[in-house]
Amino acid sequence: MGAEIVGKLIVYDEMMNLVLDSAREVDPTSGEVKRSVGTLFIRGNNVLFVTLE
């Protein structure tokens, strides 16, 4: 099972690579922040879905 990452989307490209600012890993059941990671690059092949909050 993967991680749930929450943050501000800064940029993305045609391969769905993402750069997030103020990124944090969140427990999907409780919503509790597990850890803050700051600026984060995520390769598109690791993205399952993206939602707006």
Mean local confidence (pLDDT), 8-14: 97
Return all residues near 14 (Cβ < 8 A) that are at least 6 apart: none
pTM: 0.85
Question: Residue 18: is its pLDDT beyond 90?
Answer: yes
What are the sequence ranges of the domains in the chain?
A: 4-46
Q: Could you tell me which of 1, 36, 5 has the C-alpha nearest to residue 19? A: 5
Residue 45: the pLDDT is: 96
Per-residue CA distances from 50 to 13, 23 (Å): 14, 14
Q: Which helix (H) or strand (E) holds 37?
A: strand 33-42
Burial label for 18, CB within 10 Å (0-12, 13-18, 19+), is buried
Residue 27: the pLDDT is: 93
Domain 4-46 has CATH 3.40.50.970: no
